[in-house]
Chains A and B, each alone.
Chain A
């Protein structure tokens, strides 16, 4: 297992949002967390990368990362694309790329830049532009590229479709499928658009007010009409 989480409890101040979650992401696999607004999906991602106070066990590739600082979790190979994207609006696309690879000391950074240009050709056209001037879709692409440049073992994606036009969302998910096939990075995906998420994922968990109410192979959950009607709303 790439990521193993057990008994995860987390919250803000005295309020608990998560009440003991157990879930996992396989090596090179895609796990999706589904659920309504306020179910605790975003908080789960924040807890995994140390942005909120948490209890429980989080193991990355067999190593315990519970309670580490965010920057140390990033250095161990967890890249997070948070809500609000986490790009540097004031800096150029190039500088965002360089920051993505900031902690790397290997000499394949340039090769990875080229790989990102191949996956996201529009970012190459915008190379010297300030990130804040990009369109919403381009900014989401930049956020994903920035995260992948860390060469992470695990990529956390918080609603990559948020606020984007349907066509752009299709583009982004097409690229995510490609990344999945070509890079071998494990992905933990939080998404409102359950249909798209289940198409990409191989494992799914349903969250309701901070608890997992159902889990299983993504394909099965997609087929199950009862679950779709009662939890996913389509």
Chain B
């Protein structure tokens, strides 16, 4: 029983990471109807930037904040410089650009920071195991940070006028222009926000899995599974989906398939959702008349 609870708790902890990345994916999907395959590599690059700040001697939370800012600018620049010129191009162009970005950002990260695996510090060290040994201090802290980010993002989108404008621009760009919203600015802001959310996920997962240029590859897959499971057009659904995938992955790894095959759980979920319930658990079913 204790072992089960332990796996459950660990699943919730990693699920929080998947939930953040899933949210980043869904935010961009809502605005562009494309999945940014490079979301994970962008987060890895952000995490390396965070490590650089920390090694330069900045206190952890200063480095954390600076990384959010840098990631935000990086995301907005990717939209402006790379995605904007192809925004009316066919879908295959977009897929090509995303895969190209995935490879280029990944290799750039490796080239600049090296391919050796690095230790990444946690701000929650030294507390010892919590809840009768169920969670390490870092796991608990990272769940806390993840939840705080998700709540802030939720409040931003529902309570602020800028958040409302960003949702309006994503749902219906044509109408958004008619009320005076600058849709292209909203799109760049959305990319920036998604990159910043991804960077939080990177900084929270790096102390657990260690930092290397391919760190987010598997995580992106789990996050994508979470986004699909929750409904790719539903941000709160994607968050719930991310947590579910984290728990499922851990339980399946412990009791069913073993740790070697854990990643295939994500693939099974992706294929299962697409075949059985393409709209996901909380997604909208869109009917179109022909």
User: Which residues of A are interface residues toward B (Cβ below 8 A)?
Assistant: 49, 51, 69-71, 74-75, 79-80, 82, 86-91, 95, 98-100, 102-103, 146-147, 150
A-B contact count (CB 8 A): 65
Structural contact, B180 and A75, CB atoms closer than 8 A? yes
User: Which residues of B are interface residues toward A (Cβ below 8 A)?
Assistant: 161, 164-165, 167-168, 171-172, 174-183
Q: Residue on A with the closest CB to B175?
A: A86
Extra 12 A-B pairs, beta carbons < 8 Å, given A79-B178, A99-B181, A150-B180: A69-B177, A70-B178, A71-B181, A82-B178, A90-B171, A91-B167, A95-B164, A99-B168, A100-B179, A102-B165, A103-B181, A147-B178
Q: A88-B172, A91-B168, A91-B171 are in contact. Are A99 and B177 (CB under 8 A)?
A: no
Residues of B within 8 A of A102 (CB): 161, 164-165, 168, 179-181
What would 7 A/B residue contacts be, using CB atoms closer than 8 Å? Answer: A71-B177, A71-B183, A74-B179, A82-B174, A90-B167, A102-B161, A103-B179
Task: Quote the shortest CB–CB distance from B182 to chain A (angstroms).
Answer: 5
Structural contact, B175 and A70, CB atoms closer than 8 A? no
State A99–B171 Cα separation when bound (angstroms).
13
Residues of B within 8 A of A147 (CB): 178
Which A-B residue pairs are the 5 nearest by beta carbons?
A103-B180, A74-B180, A70-B177, A86-B175, A75-B180
Structural contact, B177 and A88, CB atoms closer than 8 A? no
State A85–B183 Cα separation when bound (angstroms).
19
Residues of A within 8 A of B176 (CB): 71, 99
Structural contact, A99 and B164, CB atoms closer than 8 A? yes
Q: A88-B172, A98-B161, A99-B168 are in contact. Are A146 and B177 (CB under 8 A)?
A: no
Q: A98-B164, A99-B164, A99-B165 are in contact. Are A88 and B180 (CB under 8 A)?
A: no
